[in-house]
A = this chain, B = another copy of it.
Amino acid sequence: MNTKYAIGIDIGGTNTDMGLVDRNGNCIRNIRFSTSDHADVERFVDCLVDHIEILISDINMEELSGIGVGVPNGNYYTGCIDNAVNLNFNGKIHLRDMIRKRIDAEVVISNDANAAAYGEMIYGAAQGMRHFIMFTLGTGVGSGIVIDGKLVHGFDGYAGELGHAILHPEGRLCGCGRKGCLEQYTSARGIKRTYLELLELSGSKFSEKELENISSKEIAEKAVQGDVLAIQTYQMVGHALGLAMANAVTFSSPEAIFLMGGPVKAGKILLDPIRKSFDDNILSIYKGNVKILVSGLDENQSAILGAAALTNKV
């Protein structure tokens, strides 16, 4: 193929980020516009298509491998967004068809964690790897699984929801309606909740407002400064993630497990307990053979690069 470029589009609840990406993973031109300002999906797609046209205005269409879209609940097989709770557009949105009606290019849609995994493989630290798992930590916990160099989509396109593997059957209530999902313990909100629970147990007094506004980042900073409860919080979070990762290894025996997202910026405070728990809980036949790594992509561009990578020809 002689294609030189791909367009990557990351649709989030607040903003949509898109860019023209060359085959080396350089984002040549970026556009950001508001997702949440568009209550009507038709108007949103109008705006999206206008911006795609701006991005492709300087290149020949023969040079474009395609348009990749990473979006919560994006389905690779159907090209639809299915009931994404964080978007204004409810129900089933036939996004691929809506774009292709207006732009003559291949359009590939998947969820944002799958895009992150593929971005890592095409442009990031997983280059050359054929078996790995990506965990994305943020408001929730997503995952993308690569086996034999291909993203796992499964029978219906919804594979890779490890944030909703049940870790504690009688544990915290999850937004999905069940109890004890991994993301309730390891997302930014889960980290905060653990810290607040420990604070409450310790009998410390804090104002409601202080508690409400504290972020996982501030808890990490407290941990670095030696705050015992903050350190304990990250130990518990790391323990949960390490165990979940050790269990994921029994499924696909990957070469590496990657981490991406805001809470990962805590660095050693989070990674050391993860690695300890992973090592304690991994089955002996895998021991020492599975690396735990942080994404090698620039976080400001990783979502666009991941989406662009879905076209997989750049």
Contact = CB atoms under 8 A, between A and B. Distances in A.
Nearest to A82: B285
- Chain A interface, DSSP helix/strand/loop, else mixed: loop
A178 B286 CA distance: 13
A178 B284 CA distance: 9
Copies of the protein in its oligomer: 2
A168 to B, nearest CB: 10
Interface of A: 82, 130-131, 145, 147-148, 150, 152-162, 164-166, 169, 176-178, 243, 246-248, 250-255, 281, 283-286, 289-290
Given A130-B155, A155-B130, A283 B176 contact: yes
B251 A162 contact: yes
A280 to B, nearest CB: 8
A142 to B, nearest CB: 11
A82 B289 CA distance: 15
B283 A156 contact: no
A254 B169 contact: no
A253 B159 contact: yes
B247 A156 contact: no
A253 B286 contact: no
A256 to B, nearest CB: 8
Nearest to A154: B253
Contacts of A157: 253
Contacts of A131: 154-155
Contacts of A158: 253, 285-286
A164 B281 contact: no
Nearest to A130: B155
Given A250-B162, A251-B162, A284-B177, A152 B147 contact: yes
A131 B252 CA distance: 14
A252 B155 CA distance: 8
A99 to B, nearest CB: 23
